[in-house]
Amino acid sequence: MKDPIDLSGDGGVIKTILRQAKADAVGPTEGLPLVDVRYEGINAETGEVFDTTHEDNTVFSFELGSGTVIKAWDVALRTMKVGEIAKITCKPEYAYGSAGSPPEIPPDATLVFEVELVACKPRKGSTVSSVSVERARLEELKKQREIAAASKEEEKKRREEAKAAAAARVQAKLESKKGQGKGKSKAK
């Protein structure tokens, strides 16, 4: 068991890793926001289990950041990798707050979840390959923009050098005319 990590910075969401994921495991990303989890929820004060997927051996699926789960889960699951099991302790302000979720969860309840991240998937209508293709397309556009910007910068630099050269030629002509004018006056 690892040391507890304060994910929220205010003690509201504490994560303790119970089982580390494999080194090459993936975690939720913008391209893989749908997660499947197994969990057990416990009221920290009473020790009573109020919800679990273990009894019927199911998974719970949701999209991170969509507002369908308590804030603590959005915070904690973003830090997890597939295969990881963590104990997530949630203060009321990151769970159900002063309203609770009667009858199972009383007002201002601190909750403890044991959560296993089972899978991360792309949104419906997109696939991992379509996400990869889109990411590659965006990278290519970014490169093209960088090349265009560098080309514009190079053109701007050439114009400035040409202006400077032209100004230097004009200045040289003026200087030579001044020198010629002075020479003629002295000769008289």
Active site residues per annotation = 39, 50-51, 70, 96, 113
Cα-to-chain-centroid distance, residue 41: 27
- Give the Cα separation of 45 and 58 in Å (integer): 26
φ and ψ at 186, to 5 degrees? Answer: -70, -30
Rg (CA), the chain: 33
DSSP 31-76: S--EEEEEEEEEETTT--EEEESTTTT--EEEETTSSSS-HHHHHH
